[in-house]
Amino acid sequence: MSYLKFKADHLFDGYRLWDDKHVLITDENGIIENIAPIDDAGDGIQSYHGILSPGLINCHCHLELSHLRNVIPPHTGLIEFLCSVVTKREASPNPSDGEAYEDPAITKMNSIVAAEKEMYDNGIVAVGDIGNTADTADVKSKSNIRWQNFVEVLSFTDEKADENIEHYKKVAQVFENQNLQIGGRAGKNQSRNRTSLVPHAPYSISPKTFRKINEITKGQVISIHNQENPAEDELYKTGGGGYLKLFKIFGMNTSPFPVTGKSSIRSYLPYFNNKQTIFLVHNTYMPEEDVIWASEYARAYGLRLVYCVCVNANLYIENKVPPIEMLLKNNCTIVLGTDSYSSNWQLSIAKEMEAIQKNFPKLFPETILQWATLNGASALHWDNEFGSFEKGKKPGVILLSSDFSDSKRLV
Ligand SMILES: [Zn+2]
């Protein structure tokens, strides 16, 4: 057995930073042996500038929207942005003069392939990935990234809830069938990718649909876009506000949701009580009183809440950052996501870390590193393999520049 040995200016093991006098040792397949003092590590050490880290975890992406890169301009605000995604996601790109016409389905597939490769090369080892369709199933079946597929339900009315859930179960089945095939090729029963049905957002899921999703996701990891715009609370408190514009596109002149007089999260979280891990994504406009309330609710009903922040996407859409210091103060579990190419300049967790460090300069680099690695792995229930340099794990080995502006995969 031959060993791989790595050292750099700093070594982050998933918990803390070590200095350049320690060497990470893995076997030839990247399985962690140990971290040894340099004097005991022998020869053949690869030496780098920057930070060695376990592979990065992207807890929120929409790989299927990769063809929307540079399509929607920045800083439109969320509601204009959503209207653009809904109306432009199936649009055929216009070839500019002199350019050959390309089939939109091929353009879409090429952009999915390129985005998967980008994430692999920049050191992302696992992704929580949203999809309304199974367009990404083929690429994922050949990918060396681990995928938690969040099949995202859109279901505005109770009348359509059964029909919609059946439709999205069929989408989920495509991913499950792919997983069985990968598992077959690997000589196992099943690949280690996973699939769950998840609610899109509080402004797109009817009460009956929430109840059905709760029933069928017992103990699973699920996700929901949460409090990304103040209009979300207004919708539940008064039945009015900016989301009515989005509903018009779907042919509805009034809000299809009950007016509860409460904030959005206080209106929908009580539908859940089935031991799920729930990723609350964005939280850009979540007030502290709701965080305190949600923690109490989760404790009482056996839920695990994870706060996924997508800072570059928030800057792209609303030019605003989420209340990270408040979440930290309230002991929330924080993880990182890139969101999709419809609202980001790249799919890089390092760039998310860089944006967080720039906007919150008081945060310790170790804290941000932990969100990007061990916290993400643990939230996805994959910390037995990913997230830290502990003996027997195969978390990937990546090199980050010291200012988090760049990352690349070493193993
Ligand atoms: Zn999203």
Q: Ligand 1 centre from 268 Cα, in Å?
A: 18
pLDDT at 1: 78
pLDDT greater than 70 at residue 183: no
pLDDT at 189: 46
- Report the distance separating Cα 327 and Cα 226, nearest Å: 14
Q: Ligand 1 centre from 225 Cα, in Å?
A: 6
Q: Measure CA 212 to chain center.
A: 23
Note the pLDDT tens digit of each residue in 33-47: 999 999 999 999 999
Q: Ligand 1 centre from 367 Cα, in Å?
A: 23
User: CATH number of the domain at 56-347, please?
Assistant: 3.20.20.140
- Report the distance separating Cα 277 and Cα 222, nearest Å: 6
> In this structure, which residues have their CB less than 5 angstroms from ion ligand 1?
339
pLDDT greater than 80 at residue 283: yes
Q: Ligand 1 centre from 239 Cα, in Å?
A: 23
What are the tokens at 252? 């509805």
Which range, of 190-204, 208-222, 256-270, averages the lowest pLDDT?
Answer: 190-204
Note the pLDDT tens digit of each residue in 123-151: 999 999 999 999 999 999 999 999 999 99
pLDDT at 365: 97
257, 94 contact by CB (below 8 A) = no
Residue 248 burial (CB count, 10 A): 11
Exposure letters 123-150 (e unless 16+ CB within 10 A, then b): bbbbbbbbbbebbbbebbbebebbbbbb
Nearest alpha-carbon partner for 294 in 274, 308, 282, 278: 278
Average pLDDT, the chain: 94
Q: Domain extents for the chain?
A: 56-347
pLDDT at 104: 85
Q: Ligand 1 centre from 62 Cα, in Å?
A: 6
